[in-house]
Amino acid sequence: MPSSPPAKKRKSCIENYFQVQQKSAKPDSKVNEKNDKDNEKNDKDNEKDVTLSDIISKKLTQVEWTLINENNLNISYAVILRADQRFAIFNQLESEIEYFTGELAKVKVFGKIYNIPRQQSAYGDPGITYRYSGTTVPSKPWCPGLANLRDLVEQYAGVRYNFVLVNRYKDGDDKMGDHKDDEKELDPNVPIASLTLGAERDFIFKHQDRKKNNLENVKILLKDGMLLLMKKPTNTFWYHGLPPRKSCHQPRINLTFRQILN
């Protein structure tokens, strides 16, 4: 199980990443006088500290969704956060989230115990637990940052969530193996909502019968601030995973919001 880097180095790594992201998010040119004034106002707003409560209280950002609904793959995704928002949110989560250690930082695969190749934690409503791969994951009480993000995601998804699984990838060496989120305690009618913060990573869908039906894998680039909704019956027919990316040297936090029936 990889340990977190020293706080000073970790902060520098995060700030360097988001400074690059914010520079790339600026427009190449000013279109007209109205845009000039809007940009000036946005710059002043961005100088202020952005909090999650501020983001939630404002009207939802208008986003453009990409939809895929074929061969029992039913997903939609869109970037829902601006660069300045992502920076504030990432830093808040880095200071609030407590990651599992010991036995909870391990997983059983085909009868063998392995260290989870990333940092992991879970938060949720009182009494909620999540069981996968022979491991029962208890939920910690919602921290302020995750509670606010849950409320935001619920507005986009139109459903209620009572649990979130947190995965932190320190760099491209950390990964997630192919699997389905099809545990019995998950409400199959509620889409799993996956929110990415930080480094971009590839996300691969693989059909369970791809060798028989010759269906190609579906690859999505999960961008910083992107929300992915995996809807029924995706997890019945498709595996998904996050392969390693050697060229990635920045951290990523992924939040998968779920509705647990227990």
Dmax of the chain from CA atoms? 65
CATH superfamily of 7-258: Alpha-ketoglutarate-dependent dioxygenase AlkB-like (2.60.120.590)
pLDDT tens for each residue of 104-118: 778 777 778 878 889
pTM of this structure: 0.78
pLDDT-derived band at 32, boundaries 50, 70, 90: very low
What pLDDT is recorded for position 21?
44
Q: What percent of the chain has pLDDT over 90?
A: 60
pLDDT tens for each residue of 55-94: 666 656 678 999 999 999 999 999 999 888 899 999 999 9
Domain ranges of the chain: 7-258
Tell how strand 140-141 and strand 119-124 pair up.
Answer: parallel
Q: Alpha carbon of 210 to those of 204, 206, 213, 218: distances in Å?
A: 13, 7, 5, 11
Q: What is the DSSP string of the chain?
A: -PPPPPHHHHHHHHHHHHHHHHHHTS-SS--SHHHHHHHHHHHHHHHSPP-HHHHHHSPPPP---EEEEETTEEEEEEE-S-HHHHHHHHHHHHHH-----GGGGEEEETTEEEE-SSEEEEEESTT-EEEETTEEEEPEEPPHHHHHHHHHHHHHH-S---EEEEEEE-STT--EEEE----TTB-TTS-EEEEEEES-EEEEEEETTHHHH-PPPEEEEE-TTEEEEE-TTHHHHEEEEE---TT--S-EEEEEEE-B--
pLDDT tens for each residue of 223-262: 999 999 999 999 999 999 999 999 999 999 999 999 999 7
What pLDDT is recorded for position 2?
40
